[in-house]
Amino acid sequence: MKQKTIGRPATLEGVGIHFGNEVQLHLKPADKDTGIVFIRTDLPGAPRVPARLEFTRREDRRTVIKKGEAEVYTVEHLLAAANAVGVDNLEVEINGNEPPAFDGSSGEYVKAIMDAGIVDLGTPRNEFTVIQPIAVSEGGATIVAMPSEGPGLTISYTLNYDNNTPIPSQYLTVNISEETFQSELARARTFVLQEKAEALLEAGYGKGANYDNTLVIDSNGDVVNNKLRFEDEFVRHKILDLVGDLMLTGFNINAHIVAMRSGHRMNIKMGERLIDAARERELRKKKTLFGATTMDIRQIEKILPHRYPFLMVDRIVALEGDEKVVGIKNVTINEPYFAGHFPGRPVMPAVMQIEAMAQVAGALLLTKKENLNKLAFILSIDEAKFRKVVTPGDQLVLEAKPIRIRSRMSAVETRVLVDGEVVSEAKIKFMLIDSN
């Protein structure tokens, strides 16, 4: 997927939902890697506030970004629209501290962006694919990001308040795309319990709220002076908010996100965890790809009694005495086992991953002076786990750490990583015997 912006400027006017001020907002095209940036034209110097997690301020009922003295409140509906239609780069000039609420949904923002046209900038989008579950929870609210069956973002949300609330439990799963967002989410409006509306006003919320831009629910569960657009409009708006808050990560997310009772604070927390996971993966990947070669294939062949097609280590990139060894295996479609193992969908056999782990462990054991001219035979394999399939194109990072090393018997803890994530692991015990 490529980064995108809008084709021409667009102007919007309206009242902010929380502060109640008349606001004018200009959407303008932006260059690649700009991201979404709000520009407070009403403040001296027109300060810029990037819509990124590092500039968020955690608040209930709205998402706030702040840089220096400049703040912009309630940015989630605009961000949701941009995220869903694939616009990564946008300058948002605004002469107040909050975008217009319109009808309390993202509908007007989607329309403005689509009318302005979408332009491909030719540069790859920043992406992050979840390959291991990431979870956050707090006070009965939970969000879990899990690997999805295919590319793109899927959100499952459960709206389930306590038994005393008139809002019924609602559940919905949506595969987020431009089409599904426009048809299923964009028109879903923000909502509030009638009994809480007064307290929220006293706390500084909802000064621009009215029955047209906020669904007010009375004690019987009925909407006051308005009608639902969807039977489950409340859960749809919760998903809309989550789509907007995830835009603050700065990348396109490939995952299935399951949320229960989450709000803006939890959404931000999940975004931070996703960014942390992306950074950690990138650091591991760089460390592996650019690490110096400690042993090349010729040196490996002098130690290990294996040859094609059974030599499973291409190079050793770290050999830290008795502490650790790290090897590399580049998996290609030319591996002989792919011809007969799941033909049509090549998957590296689990037993071959075990063999690769054993061989890199052998590089650790057989380079010791006292073990020269010895062979290492597997005695046992314990606690073997396989967490993700390995396919052609993957680079395996093979790690081995000793549990104990003896002259005749040794035990090693091993694991395999792809893109910084563990795909398999095992504890292997070896018997060391004289090669003669």
Q: Show which residues are catalytic.
A: 264, 341
Task: Give dist(CA 330, CA 312) in Å, integer.
Answer: 9
The Cβ of residue 348 has, within 10 Å, a number of other Cβ atoms equal to: 24
> Closest Cα to residue 262, out of 290, 289, 243?
243
Q: Which two tokens mark 293?
A: 């070669």
Going from the C-alpha of 9 to that of each of 6, 85, 95, the distances in angstroms are 7, 16, 16
Beta bridge partners of 7: none
Secondary structure of residue 192 in the 3-state scheme: strand
- CA–chain centroid gap for 287, Å, is 21
Please state whether 354 falls in left (phi above 0), alpha (psi between -120 and 50) or beta: alpha
For residue 166, what are the CA distances in angstroms to 141, 194, 265? 19, 10, 23
User: Two tokens at 361?
Assistant: 């462990």
Cα 396 to Cα 399: distance, rounded to the nearest angstrom: 9
The Cα 390–Cα 332 span in angstroms is 11
CA distances for 56 relative to 17, 181, 232, angstroms: 19, 24, 29
Cβ atoms of 145 and 130 within 8 Å: the answer is yes
Can you list the alpha helix ranges (DSSP code H) found in 10-50? none
∠ CA 363-387-307, nearest 5°, is 30
